[in-house]
Amino acid sequence: MAVLELDAEISRGEHFDDAPLKLYVLFSTHRRREPYALCLDRSMMATPVNPTGSTDLTDDSPVGQALATPTPTAAARYVEEPRQLVGGHAVRLLRNGVETFPAWLEAIEAARSRISLEMYIFSDDAIGRKFADALSHAARRGVEVRLLYDFVGCRDTPAEFFDRMRAHGVHVIAYHRYRFWRPRFWALLRRNHRKTLVCDGRIAFAGGLNIANDWVSLADGGGDWHDAVFQVEGPAVATIETIFLRTWNRRAKKWARLDPARLAPPAAAGDTALVVISNSEMRDRFVIRRAALHAVRESARRVYLANPYFVPDRGVLHALQRAARRGVDVRLLLPLESDSTILDLAARAVFGPLLAAGVRIWQSRAVVHTKVLSVDDVFVSIGSYNFDHRSLAYNLEMVVNVVDERASASVTAMLEADMTATEELTREGFGRRPLLVRLLERLAYAFRKWL
């Protein structure tokens, strides 16, 4: 069975926590068939039809041809499958809500044909209402607006908030809405954790920010959580929108679906090479983890990793330790306190082995929600993926892996600025924590698969 072959190449001595993990993932996933309307090429919404009429994203379709253009480069060694690298992109780093939210709102305001928004948390607060108004205004001026939000992620957002957008013409779907008359336990576990925005098939955004006041600056009354997003223009915009549509089309009514093969391929917009990597509800559960491990193993000088819920399996832990022991400057940027105390305890359980191997750790008093991996001076990965069991086994996730010195320099500067603003954790200082705290850390880490 294909699922059992998901990561036959994990190899190199890097195993998961226990042998039955692949079977565990197999029995904890499900997959729906493609919608009937897409299989028979039925009419969708008003977006112009691609003359090929194809319903699949293949190498023969215009979008497939745009995405299949290889970009040979010496730096491609950081990418597990160099043939997947696609050139022709303009990539811009957006830091925190102060840079990201204005860029998102500007793109929504400029949209003229369609908007595809995928969000884990969409709050009914000041910034959330500003985005709701922007999406509603876009729908009223004739833009096809699709919003896919996560039901559990938005559990504190009242249904009336989304109903108001529906009343203005926004097509809204909740991912895995729980219904008591049709209970599905796995619906509560399996979440859509992606955060993407695509406007007119021309510009896309992917990263870790949600639409909530936590990401608004302190000066504007928010929580000032630190985070990062890539703004992408070029052929990979089609990939990001296709990933969104494949999830959307399985849940949307026939008239609201959109076949990605009907969309015109984006033109080249720059000279940056990148690859978009995502998992699905059933397949490719480990592809993001494997890509990150490959880049770490190829590192020669530097590995910077920022993550809010860093509870790695032993394979990730060993890869970082080995990199540090062979002389690579391995640094972790983590929050001193996230929004989950038990995850903070589980994360600290691995600090001792990492510090002993030479890994340097910074814990920021600001909430670091940034999900970034930077390797040497050329590879950068930004997305929604946390190095914890939930992202590995349950969540829908996506990352954008960029091979570009300029993008790497901007990300490195951002991470080093955050490190400068906090204190480095020392092995001696960390070793002085009470015995009870150590026991709680080990207990939390033992239950990491259930957090």
Q: Distance of CA 272 to CAs 75, 230, 251, 268, 288, Å? A: 12, 12, 34, 10, 20
Active-site annotation holder among 193, 226, 294, 389: 193
- Residue 371 annotated among the catalytic residues of the structure: yes
Selected catalytic residue, list 371, 389, 404, 418: 371
pLDDT for the residue numbered 189: 82
Does residue 318 carry a catalytic annotation? no
Which position among 376, 388, 404, 418 bears the catalytic label? 376
pLDDT tens digits, 163-215: 999 999 999 999 998 766 555 666 678 899 999 999 999 999 999 999 999 99
Q: Residue 277 to residues 79, 208, 221, 371: CA-CA distances in angstroms?
A: 11, 15, 35, 14
Q: Is 235 helix (H, G, I), strand (E, B) or coil?
A: coil
Distances (CA, A) of 37 to 3, 45, 251, 256, 450: 27, 12, 12, 11, 38
Q: Is residue 253 among the annotated active site residues?
A: no
Q: Using alpha carbons only, what angle is made at residue 364 by residues 363 and 368, rounded to the nearest 5 degrees?
A: 105
Tell me the average pLDDT of the chain.
86
pLDDT tens sequence across 155-168: 999 999 999 999 99
Provide CB contacts within 8 A for 172, sequence distance 6+.
147, 149, 162, 165, 166
Q: Pull the structure tokens for residue 220.
A: 């504007």
Residue with tokens 């038990």: 342
Which DSSP letter does residue 192 get? B
d(CA 331, CA 415): 10
* pLDDT for residue 22: 53
Q: How far apart are CA 361 and CA 321, in angstroms?
A: 13
**Catalytic option among 200, 284, 339, 377:** 200
388 is catalytic: no
> Is 193 in the active site?
yes
Q: Which pLDDT score, from 0 to 100, does residue 11 have? A: 38
Cα torsion 83, 86, 92, 95 to 10°: value is -40
Annotated catalytic residue within 226, 294, 369, 389: 369
Secondary element (H or E) of residue 342: helix 341-348
- Identify each DSSP E strand in 265-390 by its residue range: 272-278, 302-306, 329-335, 360-364, 372-375, 379-383
Looking up tokens 């191997």 gives 357
The model's pTM is 0.86
Please state, in angstroms and as integers, the Cα–Cα distance from residue 364 to each residue in 368, 370, 421, following that order.
Answer: 7, 11, 8
pLDDT value of position 285 = 87
Q: Residues of the chain whose pLDDT is less than 50?
A: 1-20, 24-72
369 is catalytic: yes
Give the per-residue pLDDT at 9. 38
Distance in angstroms (rounded) separating the CA atoms of residues 370 and 401: 15
Check 89, 171, 195, 389 and give the catalytic one: 195
